[in-house]
Amino acid sequence: MKKLLLTLALGGAVQFAAYAQIIKQWDFNSPLSEFDGLTTTGTLKPSIGSGTPAQTCGGVGERFGNVSGGNNSDPHSLDNSQWRLGTNLGGDGFPAATVGNKTAGAQFMANTAGYGNIQVTWDQENSATASRYWRVQYTIDGVEWLDHETVITAAHDGPLDTNGNPGTPYWQVGLAADFSATPGVANNANFGFRLVSEFEFTATGSGVEAYVGNRPGANYGTGGTIWLDMVTVSGDDLDPSNQAPTISAINDVTALLKDSIPPIAFTISDAETAAGSLVLSVSSSDTSLINSFSFGGSGENRTLTVTPEVGAIGTTSITILVTDAGGKATESSFYLTVLPPLISHVGYQLVLPGEPLTVAFSITNLPGDPETWIVTGNSSDPDKVTDANLVFGGSGANRTVTITPEAALGDAVVSLVAITGDRQATTNFVVRLLPAHVVAFDFSSVPNITYESLDSTLVATGLTAAPITRGPTLGASSITRGFNANNWNSVLSANDPKAATRANALLGDYFQIAITVDSGFKASLAALDINLRRSAVASAMNYEWQYSFNGFATAGTTIPLRGTVWETLNWTLNQFTYLGRDSGTAPTNGFAPYAYMTGSVGGQGAGNPIPTIDLTEVAELQDIPAGTTVTFRLFGWGNANTVDSNSAAVGRDLGPYVRGTVEQVGGTPATLGIIEVEGGIRISWPASVSGILEGATTLPGNWSDVPQTVNEDDGLKTVTIPTSGDQQFFRLRQ
């Protein structure tokens, strides 16, 4: 099939002449009955015509918004919502660079019964890292998707900014696909089309078999987004003398799991065909939820009865099609949602052994009086938390559970159950019993001043902690309540890591802390936590923890991302991808995939808690002997773009913090007694304490054994040393 490659200049458009009639149009604005003036709300239902709502394909997330980059053709200025598809928007991102060619994007079903010469137009805007090429596909049976000849090349750049860097790509207005000569499209109630990302090679006949970034020089990214607006299907009326039938609008329906759904009423009529002779059909966008239908009523007054599949929950779009004797058809669509009983999400809980904590939760989608709901719970490990120590409070739909753990370390999964009749809601969460912090950095009082390093604010007895520092290829930068660095993956970096690779990051893009075990102690490290704030679109996205016992004189050892949260997320890599705040704006659609596991941190929304990393299974970090220094580095890389400051900070408020235990070793601590005697001094200590007396002339100094004989008398060990006239220091090495 011949390909038609549409390449548009900035702000340019390919447009067709006006057509006889708009069959359907999606402008994504809120309907007048729900007008709120907000571009963050809207509808996927057609604004002109009626029928199936727009939907994504390939699992891509979506939401409403309004993007800069020139003007699109939507005339509504008070509520100009646009449809954005991409990652972290209620679903997944676009596929990886070499996966899923022509499967991910936006899909529209448009009944063309009674119309010919079908044309489709739309407005489109792409981010810099989105796919450069977009294929138009179509279906004539609602099942199989075929390539249309039209391939869209996205607009690359907007106007240059003050630094000479390309700005936001422009809207491409009036993009079009001509279906007038495509067999099976005209006069077809099952016609649909979609716009999907495409590999460079299949789109152009040359280049790579992979997606390429929209902006030349920018890497393709699964987090790239596409915006759509004013999607319009037009055509010529094949029989102007025959008016299309009408069908009333149907409100969306919501039901609880196991509820029976009453018959849904609607009306139909037609100017030429008697109501009793109109033909009805119905379809569901999700047959795993609703696949059982029956029509009732007569004449103009009809009903639809639907029966959800057993145990199925979710939302489906149901479309009723009414067809007259002349072959013209009209649709009416509504969403039907089946809700499961729910207990609100409870985040991952960290607690000291034996320390009570109270967790609040809410219950929804259970029938009946909330005061009659029975709420219970149980623990997976009675050695950590017993069922008897789960005490419930609250009333109605808002409840609490107070958990008093045992004096032990480890994890327990607490399950909550709310029951009424034959229905129940459940949830579970992890309670991790960890030792106290042994090293912590609290940045809550740090002003917006650039620091080369910051001291720890908590260090357990028996440890010494070095200040937090940056790697040599990062730039120093300021941030309130944090420790900041820029030049991540930047051409300004000493190592010029344009490729933004892990190998380049290991040369110097890191934060560092170091912990030394003092003499007379040993330490075991249990957990490592950190809050991150990535405040620019070009800053590091991928992170990896390593440790070293020689200050990274040789390659460090990667700390595996292990622990209950990572296991729950099925995380198998040793690096994690930051999914919180970026581009200088706060997240707007709830918790990131891992952040929701940790729960929110009250008053600290500007930093994103990374799930706890379990150190208990790292053998080298257990029973660390005295005199040992462990250095930790958090390396960061990813994103070659250098258009902004690309800063990333530890914090805000909470920096790195390490949990563990510190123990004294080598016997009972002893206090040395020193008195003058004839010809010298006598040093003594309890006879029950073993050890070797050492001396030095300076501090710090070179310690050596005291050569004199040790005597024992009256419960004391004593050593008499001749007077030397020099300053001396003594210690008992145990």
Quick check: pTM over 0.75?
no
- Reported as a pLDDT band with limits 50, 70 and 90, residue 578 is low
How many other CB atoms are there within 10 angstroms of residue 130's CB atom?
Answer: 28
112/124 Cα distance (integer angstroms): 23
Sequence-ordered alpha helix ranges (H) in 182-311? 200-204
pLDDT, residue 637, reads 77
Give residue 97's region: left, alpha or beta (phi > 0; psi -120 to 50).
alpha
Give the pLDDT band of residue 35 (cuts 50, 70, 90): low
Give the model confidence (pLDDT) of 329-373 as tens digits: 999 999 999 999 999 988 778 788 889 999 999 999 999 999 999
CA distance 290 to 249: 20
**Percent of the chain surpassing pLDDT 70:** 82
The whole-number pLDDT of residue 586 equals 38
Looking at residue 490, its pLDDT comes to 58
Residue 692: what pLDDT? 83
Q: What is the CA radius of gyration of the chain?
A: 34
Number of neighbouring beta carbons within 10 Å of residue 548: 18
pLDDT at 596: 32
pLDDT at 300 over 50: yes
pLDDT at 408 over 90: no
Quickly state the pLDDT bin for 581 (edges 50, 70, 90). Answer: very low
- Of 619, 640, 701, give the one whose Cα is nearest residue 217: 640
Mean pLDDT of 17-31: 80
Tell which residue, 463, 440, 545, 467, has the closest CA to residue 502.
545
What is residue 188's predicted lDDT score, i.e. its pLDDT?
Answer: 95
pLDDT band at 430 (very low <50, low <70, confident <90, very high): confident
- Residue written as tokens 């200025």? 77
pLDDT for res 572: 62
Predicted confidence at residue 547, as pLDDT, reads: 97
Q: What is the mean pLDDT of the chain?
A: 84
For residue 16, pLDDT over 80 is answered with: no
Q: What is the pLDDT of residue 568?
A: 59
Q: Tokens at residue 392, please?
A: 């419930």
Spatial separation of the C-alpha atoms in residues 82 and 435, rounded to whole Å: 50
Tokens of 404: 């008093």
Give the pLDDT mean for 633-652: 68
Does the pLDDT of residue 708 top 80, yes or no? Answer: yes
Distance separating alpha carbons of residues 435 and 574, to the nearest angstrom: 24
Interval 665-677 mean pLDDT: 79
For the segment 709-719, the average pLDDT, to the nearest whole number, is: 88
Measured CA to CA, the distance from residue 291 to residue 322 in angstroms comes to 19
DSSP 100-152: -TT--EEEEE---TTEEEEEEEEEEEE-TTSBSEEEEEEESSSS--EEEEEEE
pLDDT of 45 higher than 70:
yes
Mean predicted confidence (pLDDT) in 675-703: 82
The confidence score (pLDDT) of residue 13 equals: 37
The per-residue pLDDT for 605 is: 41
Residues in the chain, total? 734
The residue among 678, 691, 686 whose CA lies nearest residue 718 is: 686
Question: What's the whole-number mean pLDDT along residues 559-576?
Answer: 67
> What is the pLDDT, as a whole number, of residue 166?
52
Residue range 596-609: mean pLDDT, rounded = 42
Residue 50 has pLDDT above 50, yes or no: yes
Query: Once rounded to an integer, what is the mean pLDDT over residues 395-411?
Result: 93
C-beta of residue 431 within 8 angstroms of C-beta of residue 382: no
Q: How far apart are CA 329 and CA 243, in angstroms?
A: 10
Least confident span in 81-95, 244-258, 585-599, 678-692: 585-599
Residues in Cβ contact with 627 at an 8 Å cutoff, skipping those fewer than 6 apart? 516, 517, 519
Task: Report pLDDT digits (tens) over 120-174.
Answer: 999 999 888 899 999 999 999 999 999 999 999 887 655 555 555 555 567 899 9
Mean pLDDT of 8-19: 38
The torsion angles phi and psi of 567, rounded to 5 degrees, stand at -65, -40
In order, the DSSP letters of 463-496 are EEEPPEEE-TTSEEE--TTEEEEE-TT-TTSTT-
The lowest-confidence range among 87-101, 270-284, 340-354, 383-397 is 87-101
Write down the pLDDT at residue 591.
36
Strands 192-197 and 349-351 come out as unpaired
Taking only the tens place, the pLDDT of each residue in 452-504 is 999 999 999 999 999 999 999 888 988 888 999 887 765 555 445 455 678 87
Read off the pLDDT of residues 221-272 as tens digits, 9 standing for 90 and up. 888 889 999 999 999 999 999 999 999 999 999 999 999 999 999 999 999 9
pLDDT of residue 661: 94
Give me the percent of the chain exceeding a pLDDT of 90: 52
Stronger pLDDT, 43 or 500, i.e. the higher one: 43
ω into residue 652 within 30 of 0, thus cis?
yes
Instruction: Give yes or no for residue 450 having a pLDDT over 90.
Output: yes
538: pLDDT strictly greater than 90: no
